[in-house]
Structure formats: structure tokens, C-alpha cells
């Protein structure tokens, strides 16, 4: 019978967040697959545990994943950990979990620290509906395209960001969503210098344009205000253009018809359609 893959979250800054179940799972697993064994050995030392470890990081998912699967299939149990937080959330693990699913190997996720949930909970932004967008691309064009695809998004949006990209990302967000869009900037969560700033994209972009950011950040951005009832958005226009194109109209004619029927600016709709 196959062994089980346990997804074991680890603290995102405060060792007090280690749970009893997390420690017991690490202790009972036959082996640990770790994003960086040098980081995980410190946690094991803290817990007074000694365990065989294998590396499982983003550059080795194929080869290491196969070796881990074989051991699971042979009946061993494995605890997967990353450097901090929940495995498979912007961290290695997603592919391994999918492969276990395909091959019928049981997966058990232990609940625990996760930066996005911690940030959302403390943000003061609406939590009923949200979208997690992970890290934006390094490349400016791709980053902008990602943000533009979220222009009409009404749900709260959560992003991870590295400090060296923060200033550029905040500037792009302010340009795309507006200077006044509310933002909760969560820095160094659970750590000594934890800081939660409820601000706007414009103010944060201006501040970090001048001051170098330090630490780890989660950005929680308020969703777009819903359109007043009956009003149509550019996205509705783009959907209609797409439909009309499918019916054989040229781009120009589709834009003309959609703009007229939905009461949108023809130039704005054309520019948006061309960008797509
Ligand atoms: N799997 C992790 C989780 O469950 O949160 C996320 C790993 S991802 C590689 C690392 C990113 O998470 C950082 O760049 C930052 O955006 C966010 N992060 C992790 N720890 C954080 C903390 N203590 N405070 C703020 N953000 C944090």
C-alpha cells in the first residue's frame, strides 16, 4: 500500500507558530522532502528531531519528484516542507500533489502558516471574495498585462512581492488601478518588525519610490468599485467584440457595433481590443 504525502507548513517568521501536529508529522514521517535542506535542518534542530531529508526545490521537481513518488509507492510516508509557509502556495509542491493525485497516492495537508491568509485576515479589506495572484512577472510588459487583466476585478486582490521589485510594482498598480485605490501593505508578518499599513497605491508608490523597502511583503489591494446597475464596462464591450468577430465581422466593424450598442467610447474599446 502507498504511503502518504504530508504537506507540512512551517512558520513564516515566528517559531511560536509551530503546531503540535506539524511537529508530530515531521517526527513520524519516514523522510522529509525540503525546498532547502539547510533551512529545514535548523527547524529540525529546534524541534530536537533527526530525519533523513531529500531536496525538492523548483529546479528539481521532475527528477526529485519521481524519486519521492517511487518511495511513496513503495509505502514510505513523506513530509514536504518549504523554507516558510504552506507548501504548494507560490512554493514547490503543486506538481508533486498533482502527480500523487494521478497515481492514487494519498495527500494530507496540515493547516498552518500562510502569508496570504494572514495578510488578508489583518488587511481590513473585504474578505468574502478574493483572488490570489501570487508573484507578478519580472518583465515590465508581462507585469502590466497581468495587472490590466485585473482592471475590472471587484474581488480583493492579494499579491506576493520581493522587496527589490516592490517600488516598480506599486507604480504599475497605481497607474493601472488608480492612485486612490486602497491598499494594505503587510510587511514582515509575525516577525519583530511586523507592519501593517492601510494606505493607497499612490501613497505607497510615492513612499517606496524614495525609500528602499526592507523585508517581505504581501499586498492586499481593494477590488474595483462595482459599476452602477445598468452601466456596461469595457470588458462587456470586449466580450461583445469577441462574439461579433466570431460571427465574421472585421475588428473595426465589431468595435463600431459594440461601442454603439453598449454606449462605450469607440476609441477606448478599439485600443483595448487591439491590445488583446
Ligand atoms: N508558501 C509561502 C506561504 O504559504 O505564504 C509563500 C512562499 S513565497 C516563495 C514567499 C513570499 O511570501 C514572499 O516574497 C512574501 O511576498 C510572502 N511572505 C512570506 N513570509 C512573509 C512574511 N513574514 N511577511 C510578509 N510576507 C511574507
Give the pLDDT score at 158: 98
Phi, psi of 275 (to 5 degrees): -60, -35
Question: How far does the centroid of ligand 1 lie from the alpha carbon of residue 196, in Å?
Answer: 14
Supply the pLDDT for residue 77: 98
CB 153 within 8 A of CB 219: no
| pTM of the model as a whole | 0.86
Compute, in angstroms, the gap from residue 274 CA to the centroid of ligand 1.
Answer: 36
- Superfamily for the 115-221 domain: Tetrapyrrole methylase, C-terminal domain (3.30.950.10)
User: How close is the Cα of 105 to the center of ligand 1, in Å?
Assistant: 28
Domain segments of the chain as ranges: 5-109, 115-221, 234-275
CATH of 5-109, one of 1.10.490.10, 3.40.1010.10, 3.40.50.300, 3.30.70.141: 3.40.1010.10
Rounded to whole angstroms, how far apart are CA atoms 132 and 125?
Answer: 14
pLDDT in the model for residue 62: 85
Ligand 1 atom nearest to 84, measured from its CA? 2
Residues facing residue 134 across a β-bridge: 159
The pLDDT of residue 231 is 79
Q: Any residues with Cβ below 6 Å from ligand 1, and which? A: 12-13, 82, 84-86, 89-91, 114-116, 160-162, 186, 188-191, 216-218
- Residue 82's CB is within 10 A of a number of other CB atoms, namely 26
Q: How many angstroms does the Cα of residue 119 sit away from the middle of ligand 1?
A: 10
Q: How far apart are the first and last CA of the chain?
A: 50
Contacts of 170 (CB under 8 A, 6+ apart): 201, 204, 205, 208, 209, 219
What pLDDT, on a 0 to 100 scale, did the predictor assign at position 91? Answer: 96
Which atom of ligand 1 is nearest to 82's Cα?
Answer: 1
Give the pLDDT of residue 1.
87
Burial 6-39 (b: 16+ CB within 10 A, else e): bbbbbbbbeeeebeeebbebbeebebbbbbebee
Distance between CA atoms of residues 69 and 50, nearest Å: 22
Cell of 63: 527528477
Tell me the CA–centroid distance for residue 135 and ligand 1, in Å: 10
The beta strands (E) that lie in 123-256 are given as: 130-135, 156-161, 182-187, 195-200, 217-221
For ligand 1, mutation pick of 13, 85, 186 (most atoms within 8 Å of CB) = 85
Can you list the alpha helix ranges (DSSP code H) found in 131-233? 140-148, 163-177, 201-210
Q: Which residues, including other chains, have CB under 8 Å from residue 248's CB and lie 6 or more apart?
A: none
Are 83 and 33 spatial neighbours (Cβ–Cβ below 8 Å)? Answer: no
φ, ψ of residue 70 in degrees (nearest 5): -60, -40
Q: How far is 69 from 103, CA to CA, in rounded Å?
A: 9
Q: Residue 18 C-alpha to ligand 1 middle, in angstroms?
A: 16
CA neighbor of 5 nearest in space, from 62, 55, 79, 75: 79
Q: Closest ligand 1 atom, CA of 9?
A: 4
Query: Sheet of 78-81: strands edge to edge?
Result: 53-55, 31-34, 78-81, 5-7, 107-109
Angle of helix 266-275 relative to helix 251-262, nearest 10 degrees, comes to 130
In order along its 276 residues, the chain shows pLDDT tens digits of 899 999 999 999 999 999 999 999 999 999 999 999 999 999 999 999 999 999 999 888 888 999 999 999 999 999 999 999 999 999 999 999 999 999 999 999 999 999 999 999 999 999 999 999 999 999 999 999 999 999 989 999 999 999 999 999 999 999 999 999 999 999 999 999 999 999 999 999 999 999 999 999 999 999 999 877 777 888 889 999 999 999 899 999 999 999 988 888 898 899 899 987
Cell numbers of 8, please? Answer: 507540512
Q: What is the per-residue pLDDT for 90?
A: 97
Q: What is the DSSP letter of 274?
A: H
Query: Cβ–Cβ contacts within 10 Å for residue 238, how many?
Result: 19
Amino acid at each position: 500500500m502507498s504511503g502518504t504525502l504530508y504537506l507540512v507548513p512551517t512558520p513564516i517568521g515566528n517559531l511560536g507558530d509551530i503546531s503540535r501536529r506539524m511537529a508530530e508529522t515531521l517526527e513520524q514521517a519516514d523522510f522529509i522532502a525540503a525546498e532547502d535542506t539547510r533551512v529545514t535542518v535548523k527547524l529540525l534542530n529546534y524541534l530536537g528531531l533527526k530525519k533523513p531529508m531529500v531536496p525538492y526545490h523548483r529546479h528539481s521537481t521532475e527528477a526529485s519528484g519521481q524519486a519521492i513518488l517511487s518511495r511513496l509507492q513503495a509505502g514510505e510516508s513523506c513530509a514536504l516542507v518549504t523554507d516558510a509557509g504552506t507548501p504548494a502556495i507560490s512554493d514547490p509542491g503543486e506538481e508533486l500533489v498533482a502527480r500523487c493525485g494521478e497515481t492514487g497516492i494519498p495527500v494530507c495537508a496540515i493547516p498552518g502558516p500562510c502569508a496570504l491568509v494572514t495578510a488578508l485576515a489583518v488587511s481590513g479589506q473585504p474578505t468574502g471574495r478574493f483572488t490570489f495572484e501570487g508573484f507578478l512577472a519580472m518583465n515590465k510588459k508581462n507585469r502590466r498585462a497581468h495587472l490590466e487583466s485585473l482592471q475590472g476585478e471587484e474581488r480583493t486582490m492579494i499579491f506576493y512581492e520581493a522587496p527589490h521589485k516592490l517600488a516598480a510594482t506599486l507604480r504599475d498598480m497605481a497607474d493601472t488601478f488608480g492612485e486612490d485605490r486602497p491598499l494594505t501593505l503587510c510587511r514582515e508578518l509575525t516577525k519583530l518588525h511586523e507592519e501593517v499599513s492601510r494606505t493607497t497605491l499612490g501613497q505607497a508608490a510615492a513612499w517606496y519610490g524614495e525609500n528602499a523597502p526592507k523585508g517581505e511583503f504581501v499586498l492586499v489591494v481593494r477590488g474595483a468599485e462595482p459599476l452602477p446597475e445598468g452601466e456596461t464596462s469595457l470588458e462587456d464591450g470586449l466580450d461583445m467584440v469577441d462574439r461579433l468577430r466570431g460571427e465574421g465581422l472585421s475588428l473595426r466593424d465589431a468595435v463600431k457595433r459594440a461601442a454603439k450598442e453598449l454606449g462605450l467610447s469607440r476609441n477606448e474599446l478599439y485600443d483595448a481590443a487591439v491590445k488583446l
